[in-house]
Amino acid sequence: MRLHNLSNTPGAVHRKKRLGNGESSGHGKTCGKGHKGQKARSGGGIPIGFEGGQMPLYRKLPRRGFSNVQFATNYEVVNVGDLSKLGDETEASPENLVKAGLLRAGSKLLKILGTGEVEKVYKVSAHKFSASAKQKIEAAGGEVTLLS
């Protein structure tokens, strides 16, 4: 199948309404907009949330609570089991993890988590470690370095 073989589902595409082309077209005179009023004017329309002048619901309801989203510290995470994807490399720094495809290039903070097993000795440097990750790396004879 190629692009030139594709066709729309029957009934999916409708012809464009040709407005203002005489009464017999079915869309003449008022062009489907009725008689006068805000919605019949050019540029006219009612904004989202407008309730005819009544106090809109979004203004009636109280705004309560606190969101930590703007203050939260976000870490990119890598599991110790994924360190085997580094290949022959024994130093697991953020730069090496980016090269191996385990980390995004623009990521600021890195945390190592303890899921998986450590197969060889790694010198791991990250901003944060879970207790199990630290224990597994050191048990395998590796070294843990905290970045500031």
Q: Is the pLDDT of residue 88 over 90?
A: no
pLDDT mean across residues, the chain: 93
Question: Domain check: are 61 and 81 in the same one?
Answer: no
- pLDDT tens digits for range 15-57: 999 999 999 999 999 999 999 999 999 998 999 999 999 999 9
Question: Domain check: are 41 and 91 in the same one?
Answer: no
Residue 60: what pLDDT? 95
Question: Domain check: are 60 and 85 in the same one?
Answer: no
- Domain coverage including residue 45: 20-65
Residue 115: what pLDDT? 94
Question: Domain check: are 92 and 51 in the same one?
Answer: no
* CATH code: domain of residue 119: 3.100.10.10
* Alpha-carbon torsion (107, 112, 116, 118), positive or negative: positive
Instruction: Tell me the pTM.
Output: 0.57
